[in-house]
Structure 1
Amino acid sequence: MPIVFSDIGKAASDLLAKDFGAPGAIKLEAKSTASNGVTFTVAGSKDSKTGAIAGDLKTKYADKSRGLTLTETWTTANVLSAEAELADALAKGVKVNIVGALVPHAGAKNAKVSLEYKHAAVATRAALDLFKGPLATADFAVHHDGILFGAETAHDLASGNITKYNLAAGFATPEYALAVHATNKLDTFAASYFHKISKDVQAAGRATWDRKSGANVTIEVATKYALDKDAFVKAKIDNSGRLGLGYTQVLRPGVKINLGGFFDTTRLAENVHKVGLSLTLEA
């Protein structure tokens, strides 16, 4: 299957970043689907430190026969957004996406049009952000026999400057994956690995170096262990002593709870740790 640029190294990134609760917050997400296929999602979170509550209401309709998906979102920050996606209608492997956003009280607005094409071992994407710049972005990725390569760039049309260019390469199999990224205009370099040790155990690691920071290299490792088909635990730690722990449990079909947090092992007696909880309900 063709992969996009952001998929290179994704297995390691997901293991290192996801399922560690909602550090410093309590989150609730409820999903329901009507008989005509319309999906409603209500999500909210409360910051444990400030007590601030934020949320959003999302409505999604998908017409699979036409490849059309419509999504509308309204947030507690009074941001209205709408998204239309058309997949495989113009041609096989072509996806068109249009996103618009409006902040009524501030009079701010934004619109973005993107095009994606996937075929065999090649995938490419291009997007135009109409109100920021305008800013044009593009990326591509190719793969052959597990070898992956991709590039990404962004161009500010108003100033004529190239604002971003990134490169990535890797090698992936069903059991393990390796990836190397050069980002931030080739100033930041990262090497990562993912290993599916068994059906119950996974491991990942990443080393990152920013040439502007001198000789310092950041290293982080993570592991995931499936307790059974409905529960798993995760742990990660980096070379600065920051420890992340997570526990995910499916209580019953459609009900999932995730507990976790990040702890500074160099300052255990201080109030610098963040714990959180998220609950997802789906019907």
Structure 2
Amino acid sequence: MAAPQPVPPVWKDVGKSSNDLLSKDFPIDKQSIEVKTRTPSNVTFRVFGEQHSKKPDVINADIEAKYQDKASGITFTQSWTTLNALKTLVELDDKVAKGVKLELASSLTPAPPGSEKAVTAKSTLLTATWKQPGVHTRAVLDLFKGPTFTADTVLGRDGFLVGLEGSYNVSEGRITRYATALGFSAPEYAVTLHGLGNLSTFSASYYHRVSPDVEAGAKAVWDSKAHSSAVSLEVAAKAYIDKAAFVKARINNAGILSLAYTQNLRPGVKASFGLALDTQRLQDPTPAGPAHKVGAAFVFEA
């Protein structure tokens, strides 16, 4: 008897292994702090603040409260940002039918005092997701942008993945965006090909878990609409020093070398440090703009 097919990833997570290796845990050119706490009544609070080196006098931050009722399957999340944006997310999982998840996400930015408008920006997204062994599909309706209907589907069998995404503007009556993806995923490695931006941008990514302590990956991107026909390339590696610490390194074809170190100081406390070096300007005493960048991130969770 054939083994049951696993549920494939959602469209946005196709190629996630290599994307995470290349982008996560590199706190460069910014400083951030994140605090997470959980109450006995199953309410999770999260406070996040971030300061970029280019704008040292501006701190972007948000506060978030999340409540999950496992009996009813409802999750309610409310957040407020320093840009005065109020965001609400309501999720209903596995209650309408097995494998079905419904989401309502809204964002509202009140207008400043004295403005003729009540709000300066607003959005509402209705999302329905259905997942079963071998298929993961999602439909999103953006009520205030268009309205626009977006649908994506990922099919998987024996490790092979095929994904499609498309957006349709209801008021204009036309397809505004489409993309496709092909991939193969195994426990120790994954290969993914993407055709994005109405098949104008193509990317190929590779991820390999060399050993339990070492990971490696690469990603190449070619934009057919760019002035240059060159292919952008990034290569990264991650190595665990012990159970509580790991280092990462990344370099691209522009000669930017990024290094990062993450340490779990104690249960619930994590610190990350990052450094980016422009290897083509190491000997330049007066580079045009900051050639090298540093950053740090701290996470506290209770």
Q: TM-score range by the shorter chain?
A: over 0.9
Is residue 40 from structure 1 mapped to residue 45 from structure 2 by the alignment? Answer: yes
Unaligned runs of 5+ in 2: 1-5, 113-118
Kindly report the root-mean-square deviation, in angstroms, between the aligned alpha carbons of the 2 structures: 1.1
- Structure 1 residue 65 and structure 2 residue 78: aligned? no
Cα distance in 2 for partners of 1:75, 1:5 equals: 28
Give the Cα–Cα distance (whole angstroms) in 2 for the partners of residues 47 and 191 of structure 1.
30
- Measured after TM superposition, the shift of residue 151 of structure 1 is 0.5
> Which of 65, 77, 88 lines up with 1:82 in the alignment?
88
Secondary structure at the counterpart of residue 50 of structure 1: coil
Please identify, of 90-99 and 260-269, the stretch whose mean Cα deviation from structure 2 is larger.
260-269
CA distance 1:211–1:49, shift in 2 (3 Å): closer
**103-112 vs 53-62, which deviates more?**
103-112
Structure 1 counterpart of 2:225, from 200, 212, 217? 212
Measure how far apart 1:262 and its partner are: 2.4
Percent identity, aligned pairs only, is 46
Higher mean Cα deviation, 58-67 or 45-54? 45-54
Partner residue, 1:122: 135
Normalization by structure 1: what TM-score? 0.97
1:235 to 249, 252, 259: 249
CA shift at 1:49, angstroms? 3.1
State the distance in 2 between where 1:188 and 1:47 align.
29
Distance 1:145 1:168 in 2: 16
AA aligned to 2:177 is: K
Tell whether 2:264 aligns with 1:250: yes
Which SS does the other structure have where 1:192 is aligned? strand
Q: Which has more radius of gyration?
A: 2
Shift of 1:48: 2.4
Deviation sequence 1:87-131 (CA, Å, 0-9, x none): 000000000000111111261221110000001110100000111
User: Does the residue aligned with 2:191 lie in a helix, a strand or coil?
Assistant: strand
Q: Find the aligned partners of 2:144 and 2:293 in 1 and give their Cα distance.
A: 36
1:203-235 C-alpha deviation (Å, 9 max, x unpaired): 001111111235311111100000001100000
Please, which runs of 5 or more residues in structure 1 have no aligned partner?
Answer: none
Give the Cα–Cα distance (whole angstroms) in 1 for the partners of residues 60 and 225 of structure 2.
36
Which is worse superposed, 32-41 or 101-110? 101-110
- Name the stretch that deviates more: 46-55 or 138-147: 46-55
Q: Which residue of 2 aligns with 1:29?
A: 34
| Aligned positions, number | 282
**Cα distance, 1:273 vs. partner?**
2.2
The CA distance in 2 between the partners of 1:263 and 1:245, in whole Å, is 8
How far apart, CA to CA, are the structure 1 residues paired with 2:256 and 2:104? 39
Which residue of structure 1 lines up, in the alignment, with residue 301 of structure 2? 282
Q: Per the alignment, in what secondary structure is the counterpart of residue 212 of structure 1?
A: coil
Amino acid at match of 1:9: G
Give the corresponding residue for 2:3: none
Equivalent-residue separation in structure 2 for 1:238 and 1:46 (angstroms): 25
Q: Secondary structure at the match of 1:220?
A: strand
CA-CA distance at 1:141 after TM superposition:
0.3
Distance in 2, Cα, partners of 1:274 & 1:35: 41
Give the secondary-structure state (helix, strand or coil) at the position aligned to 2:263. Answer: strand
Deviation at 1:261, TM superposition (A): 3.1
Q: 2:19 aligns to what SS in structure 1?
A: helix
What code does the residue aligned with 2:83 have?
A
Write the deviation string for residues 28-63 of structure 1: whole angstroms up to 9, x where unpaired. 111100110000111111222322111101000001
1:223 and 2:237 are equivalent in the alignment: yes
Alignment of 1:98 with 2:111, yes or no, is: no
Q: Which letter does structure 2 place at the counterpart of 1:35?
A: P
Whole-Å separation in 1 of the counterparts to 2:264 and 2:248 = 15
1:159-238 aligned within 5 A: 159-213=172-226, 214-238=228-252
Amino acid at match of 2:19: S
